[in-house]
Structure 1
Amino acid sequence: MSQTASVWVVLVVALLAANLPFLNERLFGAIPLRTQPKSLAIRLAELVVLYFVAGGVGLLFERRAGQIAPQGWEFYAVTGALFIVLAFPGFTWRYLMKHRH
């Protein structure tokens, strides 16, 4: 896979992972919960875990392409902010739009 394709795959994985907690009522999209609907705290915890999962996918691609570049706190601050921005459509759909029940 080319480096450009790897970047796009990581961005798509991050977009899907960022919106997954807000688009379903299961833990990580697979494990049913007793409490319905999920609380915001559970959704935010999922968001943090999925941030690291998406980062792991990026790390795998980077390792496959060659040497891994060292990252400081700035890298994690920027990618965390980007991940939160990518989660905005799911958050908007879940909490800011009116749903008919």
Structure 2
Amino acid sequence: MTASMYALLALTVFFANFPFLSQRALGVFALKNGKRFPHHLGEWLLGLLLAGALARLLEARAGAVHQQDWEFYAVVLCLYAVFAFPAFVWRYFWHGRNKD
């Protein structure tokens, strides 16, 4: 693996976990009633799209972009969900009991 692949992997793990670690919209904007699950899910999907776009860009720079079928995208979605599991558990199972 090259350095750009390691950086992409680290950035993807960050994108998957960040929505659950921050109570601000996109990490910047304060919300009046705090973030609810739909906000977290939307940011999580936005991170997935950003990571996918960056991966496609890196692949295009390295050579031809390979065509993928639906199986590839199903596996990517499941792997992204696994990456987000630690922060999801922290937000909804541990941290949720001791809200400020």
Corresponding residue of 1:7: 5
Q: Among the aligned pairs, what percent are the same residue?
A: 39
* Aligned residue type for 1:86: F
- Between the aligned partners of 2:49 and 2:11, the Cα distance in structure 1 is 12
Corresponding residue of 1:16: 14
* Aligned residue type for 2:48: Y
* Aligned residue type for 1:72: D
TM-score by length of 2: 0.89
- Between the aligned partners of 2:28 and 2:62, the Cα distance in structure 1 is 31
* Aligned residue type for 1:64: R
TM-score by length of 1: 0.88
Instruction: Provide the aligned C-alpha RMSD in A.
Output: 1.4
Measured after TM superposition, the shift of residue 6 of structure 1 is 1.8
Q: Which has the higher helix share?
A: 2
Consecutive aligned runs of 4 or more in structure 1 exceeding 6 Å deviation: none
Tell whether 2:76 aligns with 1:79. Answer: yes
Measured after TM superposition, the shift of residue 27 of structure 1 is 1.3
Measured after TM superposition, the shift of residue 99 of structure 1 is 3.1
Tell whether 2:42 aligns with 1:45. Answer: yes
Task: Identify unmatched segments of 5+ residues in structure 1.
Answer: none
Corresponding residue of 1:99: 98
